[in-house]
Structure 1
Amino acid sequence: MQVFLGMVLGAALLFAGVYISDSQSTSTVANGQNAASNRTLVNWDVVSADWHVLKSRAHEDWIKLSSR
């Protein structure tokens, strides 16, 4: 159980670190070609859309399982 908790905590810290790093850097869209060296690592709009799809699928599956 402790190993599983450690893996979840490690993944959460990694995700938070990448988000903080990306939020402090500029993108090429905002500042043209001069910002090419400071591009963000993750497209957070895509992550948000995928997260929403994952949550809705999990919710639908939970409803199916709990209705049995």
Structure 2
Amino acid sequence: MNRPMTNAERRLYNQQQHAAQRRILVADRGAQGIAELWWDEARKIARDRAAQGDEGAWNDLALTLTNYCQRYSG
């Protein structure tokens, strides 16, 4: 017998469904759409980790973006 989902389980399920739908939609936009999707995910991860007291994800993201910009800027 199935039990009802808790609020946390329902929220996670809805987030996963939304992410799956977004992946389908951005696939038509090619690399730009995928990059935007990953950018959103990276910021979400960094925010979530910071809320748990871990600023390391923001530091890592900043370093990654710095390296990327230095590599591709004129």
TM-score w.r.t. structure 2 length? 0.43
Larger radius of gyration: 1
TM-score w.r.t. structure 1 length? 0.46
